[in-house]
Amino acid sequence: MHVRTSVSEYPKVSAEIQRATEQVVTGAMSVDEAAKAYEQGVTGTVGQDKVAIRE
């Protein structure tokens, strides 16, 4: 059973994960490039105040 969050932005964040994964798997982006694009996409979706970046 999958339990998904009830946050309204979840489908958009999920799409960003899928997009980043696809870019790496197909060789269109490096892992670092895809991570940066993912970070920007999620930040644009949910807002900077809801994004935690770990280094």
Whole-number Å distance between alpha carbons of 47 and 41:
10
Residue 16 forms part of a structural domain? yes
Question: 26 lies in a domain?
Answer: yes
pLDDT (tens digit per residue) in 1-55: 566 667 788 899 999 999 999 999 999 999 999 999 999 999 999 999 988 888 7
Q: How far is CA 32 from the centre of its chain?
A: 13
Q: Which domain holds residue 31?
A: 10-45
In a domain, 28, yes or no: yes
**Is 0.85 surpassed by the pTM of this model?**
no
Residue 20 lies in a domain: yes
Number of domains in the chain: 1
**35 in a structural domain:** yes
Answer whether residue 5 is part of any domain. Answer: no
Q: Identify the pLDDT of residue 3.
A: 63
Question: For residue 52, is it within any domain?
Answer: no
Q: Please, what's the b/e burial string for 41-55 (b: 16 or more CB within 10 A of its CB; e: otherwise)?
A: bbeebbeeeeeeeee
